[in-house]
């Protein structure tokens, strides 16, 4: 571990000086339409969410459900030309949808940072990792070259990289997948962001390494009072590490609840299907899994009604005709679901456009 | 399933070694692995990436030649038998891989992909060939009329995996070696394929070596589970027994690292720090000793052999984990 490098240059505790209550992020009716050769593809279809400082939101869904497009849309990073973004993303009171690139650039890094599944695609293969971190610090925090280099080593030590002075001189390809992800996290944390978007940050890593990375993220979040959006296909990861969970299916939020309520009282049949088809170590071997047949709909030609209707064991005629809105549970006002014939125990009262209307 | 330890195993692997030499360095991918596969069982092989699971599977299926050791199927040693015998025996032992799409020839129709082994062995032609292909496609849950004339690109990953299974079963093998067969699939599709494996195993009397890194997946389909670390087996036991009472310190740490979809599950800290050492230069004695919380001097000097410390529970450790709550 490094003892010589100063801790001062980095801004690890920047978050704690900021107000600690109120919404940090407010997303309302966000819709992302991607132009494809087959026609417009609505990858994110009217998603709303809210997040406070220090909170963690898990976004769960299978591949193609729109998790990555949603998290990138929140940041204003759109996949390709001709992509249309409507709705609103308010970050600390500032509207990001339609904001000039210069504003977005001043927010990316210092205030909102992102960690991706595959660090190899976001790290520069021909630059040493120490230099890549130092450049981020120089750009955003206007540090001198010397101080930035020292701080880069400190950050590497903070994310648990052994012999950080030596490692700073490595190229990305010389590191294991787990080490590269630590470097990505170091870069993301470099400027003390208020919101971290982590998109499948441990997918592809072995479980013992995953456990280390999850600990690292949780620790960084606690120290900095940082908000986090944790995107994953794995319900196990979000079960014990989030305050709220949003389940996505075919570009829509189909259930949204505080983590304990979601698991204790599943309302939306897709959430139920996801839970029942996941094998668990706690179950005896040969426990029959409740598999759901079929596949999600084509997002270019989405059928009317509920997107899950073709696979849902409880579907009735109404499901194929009318799209269910996200509504609040009568007994649990923080618990939202989109289903005409919900599972679980209570009945919906008033339709809601978004969780934020509760 | 209870195993009759007195029954002769269908497949016996003894002291299997596989090393790869590249650029003057030798990787000991598999270093002295021994296990039995009993008729009708599913043996899970679990461990983290690079520990040698695939190499073990490929050496057992004789896709690659082991450096040393024996693989005996029935009464034939696949490592020493004549090539013509090996060719025949290999049809009794089929492999299924992780990436279903790239393991299917994109230029061939599904019916010809499935029938390929029949064509190679001239074992069925004309109507008989069509009948077998139809039966296999039905068995794996595909509509033969719709699927047979199509090309792989017209199918999703899960459907391609079904096609791979149909092809693997067409010669009526005794043993199926599944290498990360559901790792690339979403959980709802994964569940379909896992259930299918369970059904086919019963319907066709298969014996399965199920290789995967996902602990929950392996437990779900396995009767017994073998845990591998850096080229060696650490522990082999009945699935429920192993997950309830791991006796090897690596198994213990591996299980404690995994997450469950349960908000009340204890959120423990990562039990292992650092990463496994390089297989180019593995530690002496017990290969886990550099990360083991219980390691002593003896662990550095003496290789722990796999031994049966309780009926049907084998562990390679000088100082096994004490038995925890056995009532659960
Ligand atoms: N650049 C792109 N061009 C066309 N379609 C895209 C692009 N990026 C994503 N999509 C589509 O948008 C949908 C959502 O994708 P994504 O957000 O990546 O899903 P997830 O992250 O949940 O796996 C998918 O149908 C995907 O095919
Ligand atoms: N064809 C090969 N050439 C060189 N090294 C190999 C080859 N195949 C596997 N290895 C090495 O052998 C070790 C075990 O690999 P593998 O059997 O694929 O592990 P697993 O399937 O458990 O991830 C690894 O260190 C890997 O790099
Ligand atoms: S609205 Fe109908 S089809 Fe959709 S999830 Fe609910 S019951 Fe199933
Ligand atoms: S043999 Fe020694 S180092 Fe290896 S697992 Fe047992 S106690 Fe640990
Ligand atoms: Mg994604
Ligand atoms: Mg492998």
pLDDT per position as a tens digit, B49-68: 999 999 999 999 999 999 99
Per the structure, the count of domains in chain A is 1
How big is chain B by its Cα radius of gyration, in Å?
21
Tell me what pLDDT residue A331 has: 87
Q: Above 60 in pLDDT, residue B1?
A: no
Higher pLDDT, A119 or A180: A180
Measured CA to CA, the distance from residue A200 to residue B36 in angstroms comes to 38
Q: What is the pLDDT of residues B123-150, one digit of tens each?
A: 889 999 999 999 999 999 999 999 999 9
B5 pLDDT band (50/70/90 cuts)?
Answer: low
3-state secondary structure A15-29: HHHCCCCCEEEEEEE
Full residue range of the structural domain in which residue A70 is found: 23-242
Q: In what order do the strands lie in the sheet with A56-60?
A: A112-115, A195-199, A227-232, A56-60, A244-249, A252-258, A336-337, A327-329, A348-351
- Nearest-by-CA chain A residue for B156: A295
Across the interface, whether the CB atoms of B263 and A260 are under 8 A apart is answered yes
Higher pLDDT, B97 or B286: B286
Higher pLDDT, A346 or A304: A304
Distance from the B254 Cα atom to the nearest Cα atom in chain A, whole angstroms? 6
Across the interface, whether the CB atoms of A63 and B188 are under 8 A apart is answered no
Tell me what pLDDT residue A12 has: 42
Tell me what pLDDT residue A20 has: 47
Q: What is the pLDDT of residues A152-170, one digit of tens each?
A: 999 999 899 989 999 999 9
Rounded to the nearest 5°, which phi and psi values hold at A86?
-125, 165
- CB of B246 closer than 6 A to ligand 2? no
- Let me know if B327 is exposed, middle or buried by CB neighbors in 10 A (0-12, 13-18, 19+): exposed
Q: Above 90 in pLDDT, residue A2?
A: no
What superfamily would CATH give domain B11-109+172-259+269-315? P-loop containing nucleotide triphosphate hydrolases (3.40.50.300)
Measured CA to CA, the distance from residue B63 to residue A274 in angstroms comes to 36
Measured CA to CA, the distance from residue A203 to residue A117 in angstroms comes to 6
- Average pLDDT value for chain B: 93
Q: What is the pLDDT of residues A223-264, one digit of tens each?
A: 999 999 999 999 999 999 999 999 999 999 999 999 999 999
Q: Above 80 in pLDDT, residue B232?
A: yes
Chain A to chain B, count of Cβ pairs less than 8 Å apart? 133
Q: Give the number of other CB atoms < 10 A from CB of residue B180.
A: 20
Q: Above 80 in pLDDT, residue A323?
A: yes
Residues in the ligand 4 pocket, defined by CB under 6 Å: B 248-249, 286, 288-289, 292, 294-295, 299, 304, 317-319
Among A172-176, B96-100, B212-216, top mean pLDDT goes to B212-216
Mean pLDDT for A193-205 is 95
Nearest to B240 among A233, A285, A292 (CB): A285
Here the ipTM equals: 0.92
Q: What is the domain-level CATH number for residue A147? A: 3.40.50.300
Tell me what pLDDT residue A21 has: 55
Contacts of A228 (CB under 8 A, 6+ apart): A55, A56, A57, A195, A196, A197, A198, A217, A221
Residue A98 domain-assigned (yes or no) = yes
Residue A112 domain-assigned (yes or no) = yes
Across the interface, whether the CB atoms of B186 and A176 are under 8 A apart is answered no
Residue A309 domain-assigned (yes or no) = no
Query: If you take atom 1 of ligand 3, which residue's CA is the nearest one?
Result: A339
Residue A168 domain-assigned (yes or no) = yes
Mutate to test the pocket of ligand 2, among B27, B57, B231 (most ligand atoms within 8 A of CB): B27
Q: What is the pLDDT of residues B88-100, one digit of tens each?
A: 998 999 999 988 7
Measured CA to CA, the distance from residue B84 to residue B105 in angstroms comes to 26
Q: Above 80 in pLDDT, residue A6?
A: no
Q: Above 70 in pLDDT, residue B4?
A: no
Sorted by where each begins, the domain ranges of chain B are 11-109+172-259+269-315
Tell me what pLDDT residue B324 has: 61
Q: Residue B51 Cα, ligand 6 centroid: separation in angstroms?
A: 8
B311 pLDDT band (50/70/90 cuts)?
Answer: very high
Residue A195 domain-assigned (yes or no) = yes
- Nearest-by-CA chain A residue for B272: A208
- CB of B107 closer than 6 A to ligand 2? no
A78 pLDDT band (50/70/90 cuts)?
Answer: confident
Measured CA to CA, the distance from residue A273 to residue A285 in angstroms comes to 19
Residues in the ligand 3 pocket, defined by CB under 6 Å: A 269, 306, 308-309, 312, 314-315, 319, 324, 339-341
292-351 in chain A: CB under 8 A from chain B: 292-293, 295
Distance from the B196 Cα atom to the nearest Cα atom in chain A, whole angstroms? 10
Tell me what pLDDT residue A4 has: 38
Task: With beta carbons less than 8 A apart as the criterion, state whether A338 and A308 touch.
Answer: no
For the residues of B8-20, what is the DSSP string, one character each?
Answer: PPSEEEEEEEEEE
Mean pLDDT for A10-29 is 65
Task: With beta carbons less than 8 A apart as the criterion, state whether A159 and A189 touch.
Answer: yes
Angle between helices B110-120 and B157-169 (to 10 degrees): 20
Task: With beta carbons less than 8 A apart as the criterion, state whether B312 and B238 touch.
Answer: yes
């Amino acid at each position: 571990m490094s003892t010589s490098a100063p801790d001062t240059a980095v801004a690890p505790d920047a978050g704690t000086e900021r107000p600690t209550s109120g919404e940090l992020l407010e997303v309302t009716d966000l819709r992302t339409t991607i132009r494809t050769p087959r026609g417009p593809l609505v990858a994110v279809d009217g998603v709303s969410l809210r997040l406070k400082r220090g909170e963690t939101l898990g976004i769960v869904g299978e591949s193609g459900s729109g998790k990555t497009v949603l998290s990138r849309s929140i940041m204003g990073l759109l996949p390709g030309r001709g992509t249309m973004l409507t709705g609103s993303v308010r970050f600390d009171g500032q509207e990001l949808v339609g904001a000039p690139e210069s504003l977005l650039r001043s927010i990316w890094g210092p205030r909102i940072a992102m960690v991706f599944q595959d660090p190899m695609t976001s790290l520069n293969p021909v630059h040493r990792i120490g230099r890549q971190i130092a450049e981020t610090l120089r750009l955003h925090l206007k540090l001198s070259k010397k101080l930035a280099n020292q701080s880069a080593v400190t950050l590497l030590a903070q994310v648990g990289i052994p012999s950080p002075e030596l490692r700073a001189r490595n190229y990305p390809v010389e590191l294991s997948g787990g080490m590269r992800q630590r470097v990505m996290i170091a870069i993301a944390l470099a400027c003390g962001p208020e919101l971290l978007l982590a998109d499948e940050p441990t997918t592809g890593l072995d479980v013992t390494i995953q456990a280390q990375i999850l600990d690292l993220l949780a620790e960084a979040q606690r120290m900095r009072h940082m908000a986090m959006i944790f995107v994953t296909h794995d319900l196990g990861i979000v079960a014990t590490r989030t305050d709220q969970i949003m389940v996505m299916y075919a570009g829509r939020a189909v259930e949204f609840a505080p983590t304990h309520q979601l698991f204790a009282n599943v309302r939306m049949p897709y959430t139920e299907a996801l839970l029942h088809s996941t094998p668990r170590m706690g179950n005896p071997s040969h426990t029959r899994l409740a598999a759901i047949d079929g596949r999600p709909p084509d997002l270019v030609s989405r059928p009317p009604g509920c997107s899950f209707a073709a696979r849902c064991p409880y579907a009735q005629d109404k499901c194929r005709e009318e799209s269910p809105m996200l509504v609040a549970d009568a007994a649990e006002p923080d618990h939202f679901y989109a289903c005409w014939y919900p599972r679980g125990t209570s009945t919906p009262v008033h339709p809601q456009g978004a969780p934020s209307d509760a | 399933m209870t195993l009759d330890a007195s029954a002769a195993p269908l497949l016996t692997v003894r002291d299997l070694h596989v090393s790869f030499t590249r650029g003057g360095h030798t990787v000991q991918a598999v270093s002295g692995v021994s296990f039995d596969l009993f008729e009708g069982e599913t043996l899970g092989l679990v461990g983290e990436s690079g520990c040698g699971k695939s190499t073990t599977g490929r050496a057992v299926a004789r896709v690659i030649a082991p450096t040393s050791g024996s693989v005996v199927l029935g009464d034939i040693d696949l490592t020493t038998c004549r090539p013509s015998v090996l060719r025949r025996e290999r049809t009794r032992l089929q492999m299924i891989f992780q990436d279903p799409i790239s393991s299917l020839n994109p230029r061939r129709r599904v019916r010809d992909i499935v029938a390929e082994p029949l064509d190679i062995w001239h074992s069925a032609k004309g109507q008989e060939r069509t009948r077998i292909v139809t039966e296999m496609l039905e068995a794996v849950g595909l509509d033969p009329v719709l699927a047979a004339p199509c090309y792989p690109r017209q199918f999703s990953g899960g459907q391609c995996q079904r096609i791979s299974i149909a092809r693997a079963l067409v010669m009526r093998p005794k043993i199926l070696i599944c290498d990360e067969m559901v790792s690339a699939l979403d959980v709802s599709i994964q569940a379909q394929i896992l259930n299918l494996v369970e059904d086919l195993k019963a319907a066709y009397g298969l014996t399965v070596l199920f290789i995967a890194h996902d602990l929950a997946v392996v437990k779900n389909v396995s009767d017994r589970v073998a845990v591998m670390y850096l080229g060696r087996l650490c522990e082999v036991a009945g699935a429920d027994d192993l997950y309830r009472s791991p006796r090897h310190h690596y198994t213990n740490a591996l299980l404690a690292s995994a997450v469950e979809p349960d908000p009340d599950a204890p959120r423990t800290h990562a039990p292992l720090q650092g990463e496994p050492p390089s297989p180019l230069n593995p530690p002496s004695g017990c290969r886990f000793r550099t990360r083991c919380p219980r390691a002593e001097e003896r662990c550095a000097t003496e290789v722990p052999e796999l031994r049966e410390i309780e009926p049907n529970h084998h562990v390679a450790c000088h100082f096994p984990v004490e038995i925890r709550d056995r009532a659960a």
